[in-house]
Amino acid sequence: MRTFRIGLLLGLRQIQRASVWTTLLIISVMMLTFLNLIAVSGVLVGLIAGAENAVRENSLGDVVISTRSDEDHILNTQAIVRELDTYTEVTTRSVRYLGSGELEANYKERRDLQGDADVTNVKVTGIDPISENNTSNLSEYVVEGSYLSPDEEGMILIGAYYLSQYAELYGDIFETVEDVHPGDTVRLTAGDIQKEFTVKGILQSKVDDVNLNTYISEREFRRLFGRIDQNADLIAVKLVDPTTNQSVKDSLVQSGLDRFAKIQTFEEGTPKFLADIKKTFNLLGTFIGSIGLVVASITIFIIIFINALSRRRNIGILKGIGISERAIEIAYVLQAIFYALAGSALGAFLTYGVLIPYFDVNPIQFPFSEGILVAEPLSTFYKFITLFFTTLIAGFLPAWLITRQNTLNSILGRK
Amino acid sequence: MKLIKAKDIYRTFITGDLETHVLKGVDIEVEEGEFVAIMGKSGAGKSTLMYQLSVLDHPTSGNLTVDNIDVSQLPESEQTEFRLNTLGYIFQDYALAPDLDASENVMLPLLMKGEDWDKAREKAVQMLESVGLKNKEENLPAQLSGGEQQRVAVARAIVGSPKIIFADEPTANLDSISGQAIIDLLGKLNERGQTIVIVTHEEEYTKYCNRIVRMEDGLIVKEEINRKIKSKK
């Protein structure tokens, strides 16, 4: 205890009487190291989290009800919808009918009937335009033309990646039709049934499921695909509080609705590869951040070493008058702790007070995602602990190296 | 009572192939209450002898007992504890902790001994007053003159009531008035029974010493008793 008290006195006074600029510089190094640890992995994970958020907001919702693997469609869809409408936690839901077909464009201008038609295979989704828009804000992603109106027929929305003028940015990876714009007519073929649609709008989003999709009204979908039973393929449910999705899912399962459909939370419905990428990016970020950690620990080591070395004689005299080595080591470790705490506190303030709110409002624009900064408090805490102990060791080692030197040699400045 | 008994003390420094014999078999004893001056020309070995006697260094060979404890082979950590409890030091260049104020510098040995903070501070302030530094307790070393810093060093050396005070050329960095004041201070301490061993090369500062030990080439060549000063024992 007495040793700690002396160490505390010496350490505090050294911090108090050190040059303000030097102290600020060291704290800045620690703060940047903390940010490096948090932000690099945070942006990498945020890139995937941004994509996930987009899928949640613009496609799947908080609870995903889909077709059981042993069925072709969701059974008793209307009963499920009625049940959902009784939940106060549910703000909106969109019932979707999914199918695939062949989209043909420019057939009216086609002169060479022997040549290839301008066709592409497309996903077709039948929707109620109002509830879909309430659930996924689909109308916000109309980049040309306009969104579907509830009562009109013969209109189609086409995802941008089916159109050559949008998809050419990505090379030849997408099968497209040429030069299609709002007002043009296209033909959609599902099995033996073919119907002509007018292009109402073109959709472009960060969510590929929107870019690689076509949307028509559910009534026309059922007619085109012969779905007279009104059983849908997917119901995207949006909740008042997205964090309650597990309990809502549990209630739906307890109601026995899982006999008719697969009921999942958004997280459960997220493809495993996304979770794996997230983990990989987190690891990658931690690895890159660790390099910063090593650099910071070397910096702290050098700073404390130079500090202790320049006070070598003073350390020798303290030992000479009977102050224990441990007390002197504690003084230097305390300085390192101070730098680590001050740097981390500033870093945490910047992360949670400035950077995260900033990136939430101004996400980083990646082609497939609006990247945010993800810094889970628990993960941040673990990184802080890592930084703290690394700094502690980096502070202790040089102090230990200097204090273990012969007392008289230290006093006289001999090697 | 003999506080220091040193017999046949050798100290040899080895640098590469070069061996330098600084002490070549020194015998010296110091009685409780004595004020002993070790004098000699530069390179005579007086400081090296003081480092042995004050347990800051290990003799290469020889027997050294301080306060009835064989200190010649004490491990470093026990030496530190021994110095804290038994010895006091005054260094040539004051050697105060630059970040601590005067009172905190004086408090250090007391706190290390486990003294309560408030009591230690009270004692430190009293001690600073006794060396003529009233109202200077919150000054940093850099805010004090050389003479004042050396007074703080004296206060630090005596605050823990050590059995022996070692002073290594305590006046070397001071002007003659300040130097004399420090010697007067040590003289007063000795009058109260404090055992003091001082290394100096200035004859005028030996007036309070009751014994002067003269060294040459690593050996004690002469011991003079100051008849005017009685040993306090």
Cα–Cα nearest to A305, from A205, A377, A395 = A395
Task: Round to whole Å and give the CA distance between A250 and A264.
Answer: 9
Q: How far is CA B42 from CA A412, B202, B211, in A?
A: 16, 12, 20
Residue A310's pLDDT band, with cuts at 50, 70 and 90, is: confident
pLDDT of residue B211 exceeding 80, the answer is: yes
Cα–Cα distance measured from residue B88 to residue B154, given in angstroms and rounded to the nearest whole number:
9
A272 contacts chain B (CB < 8 A): no
Suggest the residue from B13, B56, B94 to mutate for an interface test with chain A (most A CBs closer than 10 A): B56
What are the phi and psi torsion angles at A258 (to 5°)? -70, -5
- Asked if the Cβ–Cβ distance from B84 to A6 is below 8 Å, we say no
Query: Token digits for A163?
Result: 């159109």
Which residues of chain B does A322 touch, with a Cβ-Cβ cutoff of 8 Å? 80-81, 83-85, 87, 109, 112, 160
**Which residue type occupies B219?**
L
Q: Which residues of B touch A407 (CB under 8 A)?
A: 56, 76, 79-80
B-chain residues near A414 (CB < 8 A): none
Task: Give mean pLDDT, residues A266-274.
Answer: 80
Could you tell me if residue B59 is left (phi over 0), alpha (psi between -120 and 50 degrees) or otherwise beta? beta
pLDDT higher than threshold 90 for residue A192: no
Interface test with B, best of A12, A321, A411 (most B CBs within 10 A): A321
Mean pLDDT of chain A: 87
Contact status, residue B104 vs residue B91, Cβ threshold 8 Å = no
SS3 assignment, position B66: strand
State the pLDDT at residue B228: 64
* pLDDT greater at residue B36 or residue A410: B36
Give the residue among A265, A241, A240 at the shortest CA–CA distance from A251: A265
CB-based contact B80 A324, cutoff 8 Å:
yes
| Mean pLDDT, residues A197-219 | 92
| Residue in B95, B112, B157 nearest the CB of A323 | B112
B95 to A314: CB separation less than 8 angstroms, yes or no: yes
ipTM metric: 0.85
Residue among B80, B97, B117 whose CB faces A319 most closely? B80
Question: Dmax of chain A from CA atoms?
Answer: 104
Supply the pLDDT for residue A186.
Answer: 93
Higher pLDDT, A125 or B154: A125
Three-state SS for A151? coil
Tokens for B131, please give them.
């060396």
CB-count burial class (<10 Å; 0-12, 13-18, 19+) for A311? buried
Interface contact A14, partner B, CB < 8 A:
yes
CA distance B206 to A261: 105
A108-165 tens-digit pLDDT: 776 676 667 788 999 999 999 999 999 999 999 999 999 999 888 899 999 999 998 8
Residue B219: name the closest of B64, B45, B29 by CA.
B45
Residue A392 predicted with pLDDT over 80 = yes
The whole-angstrom distance between B227's CA and the closest CA on chain A is 33
Say yes or no to pLDDT of A350 above 80. yes
B147 membership: H or E segment, kind and range = helix B146-158
pTM over 0.80: no
d(CA B98, CA B96) in angstroms, rounded, equals 6
pLDDT digit string, tens, across residues B111-121: 998 889 999 99
Report the C-alpha gap between B15 and A285 in whole angstroms. Answer: 51
Q: Which residue of B has its CA nearest to A18?
A: B99
Side-chain-side CA neighbours of A216 within 13 Å: the count stands at 29
3-state secondary structure of B98: coil
- CA-nearest residue to A327 within chain B is B112
Q: How many CB pairs under 8 A join A and B?
A: 83
- What is d(CA A83, CA A227) in angstroms, rounded to the nearest whole number? 22
Look at residue B98 in the predicted model and tell me its pLDDT. Answer: 87
